[in-house]
Structure formats: C-alpha cells, structure tokens
Amino acid sequence: MSTYLQLSGISKIYGQFTALEAVDLDIKKGEFVTFLGPSGSGKTTTLMIIAGFETASSGAVNVAGKSLFGLAPHERNIGIVFQNYGLFPHKTAAQNVYFPLQMRGWDKAKGLKRAEEMLDLVGLKGFGHRHPKELSGGQQQRVALARALVFEPSLLLLDEPLGALDKNLREQMQIEIKRIQRALGVTTIFVTHDQTEAMSMSDRIVVFEKGRVQQVATPLELYHKPETRFVAGFIGESNLIEATITDAAAGEAGNTALGTVEYARTDKVASGAAVTLMIRPEHIKLSRNPVDGRKNVRMKVETIVNYGDNALVIGKVGEQPMRVRVLGADVVIIREGEECCISWTRDSVYVIAN
Amino acid sequence: MNRFMRWLGIAVVVFIAAPLVIVVPMSFSEARSLQFPPPGYWLGYYRAYFTDVSWLVPTWNSILIASATTVLTMALVVPATFALVRHRFRGKSIADLMMLMPLAVPHIVMAVGYYSYFGDLGIVHTHLGVILAHTCLSVPIAFLVLSANLKGFDRTLERAAQSLGASPTRTFIHVTLPILRPGLVISALFAFIQSFDETVVAIFISGRGAETLPRKMFDSIRQEADPVIAVISTLLFAAVLIGLTAPLLLSRWRGRRARIGTG
C-alpha cells in the first residue's frame, strides 16, 4: 500500500536547542504506529506538529499527498485523545461526542443520535447523560476516544492516553483501543514511553531518542534486531557487551569481558570494527556444570529477584554484569553468593555496530 | 480544654452575628430612634422606607451606579485578565501592579484625589463620576477573582476543542466562556457589592446629584438615627442571604430534575 501520512525532514529548534532533527517517516493507511521514547525524546513534539499546535522549523507533513502546513488545528480534521482526556466538564458524555459534529454543522437530533451510536461502539451504551466527573477514568477515556473518532478524522493521535490508569485497566484499554481502531480502520499514531504498551499494540514502532528517530520497525524486529545500542537497551532487557570483531568471516569477536565470543553471522560488520554484542537474558541458560555445544562462562551470583513464574538472576562475569532470566522452578539450584555456569548458543548473540 | 474551646467558638460566633441579629428586631421597632431592645413592634418604618422619596432615590442611585460599575469593570477586567494571565510582554509586572494599586491605597486618599480631579472635569456630584470612581475600586477585586479562576483553567480543553473543529472564536464561546462562567459571575458579584457598599468615596463625590444609599444612611444616622436604617440593613441582609442560598437550592433542584428526567 502507498504512503498515507508522510513526514519529511521535520526539525524543531528552540534557540540553541534542537528538539527534533530531520525526522522522516512514511505511514500507510490504516496502520497503528507507536512513537516510543523516554520523556524529552521528541515524540510528543512530533505529534503536536502533526496536530498543528507546534510549528516545525523545517520540513513537511503530508496527508494523502496534501500538505497540512498552512492549515490551523481546527481545519486539519485530526482526532486527538489527550493524556488527561480533555473532556468538557460542562457537557455530558453525549454532548462531548456531539461537539465535533456540532462544529461541522450537523442537525442536532441527528448528531446526538450519532454520538449515542459512537458511545455504544466504545462500550458506554446508556452513559450519554452523565457528566465527565460522574464517570471513572476508564469511562472518560472511552468518551474521549468516541469524541475523537465520531467525525471520521483522517488521523487519530493518542498522546499517552493510558498513563493515568491503573495496570489492569490499562491492559483492558489497550485491547479496547486496538479493537476499535481495527473496526474503523483509522490511521493511528500512539505516543507512549511504555515499551510493553508499544510492543502489544503496534503494527510498527518508531523509537525516538534525543530528537532523532533511532529505528522504525515491527515490534518483533525491534526486539530481535535492534539497530542501535539505545534501542537494544530500551526495548526489553538485554546484556550489552563491548567487543571488537576479530574474524568477520568466522563470526568471532574478542576483546570482551567474556573472552572470545562467537556471534550470529552477519555481513554488516568487518574485522576490526568496534561493536556491541547483545544477549537477551531469556536466551542464557543457568547450570551447575558446563553444557556441551554452548559457550560457557562462570558467573558469580549477586542477586536473585523471584517473580514466582520466573526469576531474574543478576551476577558478574569478571567485571561484566550479566542478567539471566530463568523459569521459577529452575532457580532453586542456585543461591546468592555462589558461582554457577551460564551458557548460550552463537545464534543468541546479536551484533550491533557502534 | 475541649469545653473551653467550644465556649470560645460560641462566643466568637455570637460576637460576629450579634450586630446582624440586633438590626432585625430594631427594624420592626416602634421606637422613634434606634433603640435596643425595642419597646414594641410594628411595620411602620418599612412603610416609611417604601414610600419616602428621600430613601427611594438613593436606593435607585445605588442600584444604577453598582450595575453600571459592574458592566464597566467586567468590560475592562475580562480582556485584561486574559492578557495578564496568558501572555508575557514588556511591562507586564508593572501592569499587574497598577491593576492592584487601588487595593493598597486608602480609600480616603483616593476620595480626595477624585474630588479635586473630577472637580476639574466637572463630573463631581454626577452618576458618571461615582461610576468611574467605583470602577477603579472594583477592578482589582474582580481581577483577583477572575485571574485565580483563569490560572486554574486547563488549556488542554481549548486544544481539544480546536482539534475537534472549533475555530479559536468558537472555542472561546463554546468552551472557555461556559467553563469560566462561575468565576465571571462571582467576579461581577464582587464588583457590584463593592460599589453598592462603598461609602468613603461616595461621601466625597456623590453629593446631592448622585446620592447613594450608604451615603444617605450615614447622613441619616448622624442627624436623627432614623430606624429606617435598621429596615434597610435588614433588607440588605435578607438580599444577601437569598443571593447566597438561591444558587445552591437551584442547582440541587436542577440536579434532582435531571435525575428524574433520565431515570
């Protein structure tokens, strides 16, 4: 499918400070894309530039081939759900959802009927007469979503909408938002700093850091093939080990705290290159004795964090800190302060060029 | 200790409420001047108040002046508050200070100033003069109330309205104004009360031409201590009580009706 929303070379400069640097992005119609990054990484600034509440210092934003720049926020036809919902306290839920239709000159009876249908779709049938303060956080969230979708916007922007909800409700709303987004097929950008939220909801994830796009990929690609050290550290847990490629043809890296390490073969690095090796904690096996056919090293166990179904074992190989995730049942073989064997296969060692 | 605090509390309440409670029986008194306890009761002074032009004209003047002061004050304060709360500009802190100045300067000093300045302009003893002077005194009060409200206003709501297709003007009409309405009403009410109640400046500049009720009461108590004063005090007290409780009762009644209507 062709590009629907296109950002090209978007920069935002405040005096000496560069908040965004040449952001390029192509999003397809109906896609669910998440902007993921720590606070101050530029993800919300990008969202606000698309919405029209911030102006870019340079670059262009096009929707279906037409530029958005030069249009005021109210002329852009973009639905937004804000972090604190932004529901109008003096209007009922139904009046809130009717508001965008009212602004578009709809007949009142028809508009209110449409608003009720929309509330029905988000699971709030019969709540139309309530004011926002008479609704729970999750219900307010649903009203905000209905209001942002009722006028069939060309884009839906969600600015950390789940931040204020507790954990169970958050998971429930993640599923709800996905369901509604799929049902309506609306192109959606979701902003969050929560990587599990990004992983579970997105078609693709855009990772922001310090005003730059680090990587654009599907959740699984991002997890298994991070392109930068930042992405590897930010998405999931990982062991990151400094190394130098000693033999690119054989797939060997040396100069590490773990000795010589064989890695999954790749042609993106040459011998002599300084790299970072990534091993996910769940790919490491913990045992009393060395295991044949795997790379084995001895680790001194410092801390064991038990989660019941699994446990995180934190220790050191020489000076290199290592994290190992094991099934809860396996952790009984080891105690804090003891030495044990950790091992992995070469396919679990992923090379990130520095 | 607990008992002592309770009695202290009661004493304080009595001390504060006593002057209010005393004027009510005095207004129904038969006595020829203010006297407590009253020797007997009748409604004669109420009849006197409602039929005597020398009382009704100042009452009308006060209502007129307070209403005009309120309108003029709000016309100045609403745009000024938006500018001072939401924007940064050169001289903002000085503008802030100037807005609040009339609160700090003693009324008597202001009154002397108005007397000589308005004398030169030829508007002493006119409604216009009193309205202008009262507006100066009402502006800081209305500004303080409204700016507190505007500072607490969540601007996300305005962004939300715009993203939903409302132009800045329609955002103001449909979202900003209705949400700020309680603040605007209270702000206007304070402006009205401050003008209606103001005595010092009124004594200096209202004269015969625009005599206000507080001024007339002051003159009356100095000359004859007419019990009509107690009548007016009682009526004002009642008006304030109604003014304070009516919105509360109204919103309760509305809430109940809404629940019945949809239940």
Same domain? A49 vs A16: yes
Range of the domain at A92: 3-230
Per residue in B169-226, pLDDT (tens digit) is 999 999 999 999 989 999 999 999 999 999 999 999 888 888 999 999 998 888 887 8
Which of residues A166, A195, A230 is at a domain's end? Answer: A230
Going from the C-alpha of A63 to that of each of A104, A156, A224, A238, the distances in angstroms are 20, 12, 31, 37
Q: Do B262 and A100 touch (CB under 8 A)?
A: no
Which of residues A215, A230, A245 is at a domain's end? Answer: A230
Which of residues A230, A251, A267 is at a domain's end? Answer: A230
Q: Categorize the per-residue pLDDT at B262 as very low, low, confident or very high, splitting at 50, 70 and 90.
A: very low
Number of domains making up chain A: 2
pLDDT of residue B17: 83
Q: Categorize the per-residue pLDDT at B261 as very low, low, confident or very high, splitting at 50, 70 and 90.
A: very low
Domains in chain B with CATH codes: 52-231 (1.10.3720.10)
Mutate to test the interface with B, among A99, A154, A158, A160 (most CBs of B within 10 A): A99
Same domain? A332 vs A219: no
pLDDT of residue B27: 87
Same domain? A255 vs A330: yes
Q: Do A129 and B165 touch (CB under 8 A)?
A: no
Give the three-class secondary structure for B29: strand
Do residues B134 and B65 make contact, with C-beta atoms less than 8 angstroms apart? yes
pLDDT of residue A264: 87
Judge if ipTM > 0.95: no
Residues of B near A (Cβ–Cβ under 8 Å) read 154, 156-157, 159-168, 170-171, 174-175, 178-179, 258, 262
Helix H, strand E, coil C: the string for chain A is CCEEEEEEEEEEEECCEEEEEEEEEEEECCCEEEEECCCCCCHHHHHHHHHCCCCCCEEEEEECCEECCCCCHHHCCEEEEECCECCCCCCCHHHHHHHHHHHCCCCHHHHHHHHHHHHHHCCCCCCCCCCHHHCCHHHHHHHHHHHHHCCCCCEEEEECCCCCCCHHHHHHHHHHHHHHHHHHCCCEEEEECCHHHHHHHCCEEEEEECCEEEEEECHHHHHHCCCCHHHHHHCCCCEEEEEEEEECCCCEEEEECCEEEECCCCCCCCCCCEEEEEECHHHCEEECCCCCCCEEEEEEEEEEEECCCEEEEEEEECCEEEEEEEEHHHHHHCCCCCEEEEEECHHHCEEEEC
**Chain A residue closest in CA terms to B164:** A100
**pTM here?**
0.81
Contacts of A147 in chain B (CB under 8 A): 164
How many A/B residue pairs have CB atoms within 8 Å? 64
Same domain? A225 vs A241: no
pLDDT of residue B25: 86
Same domain? A143 vs A161: yes
Give backbone dihedrals phi and psi of A92, rounded to 5 degrees, phi first. -75, 170
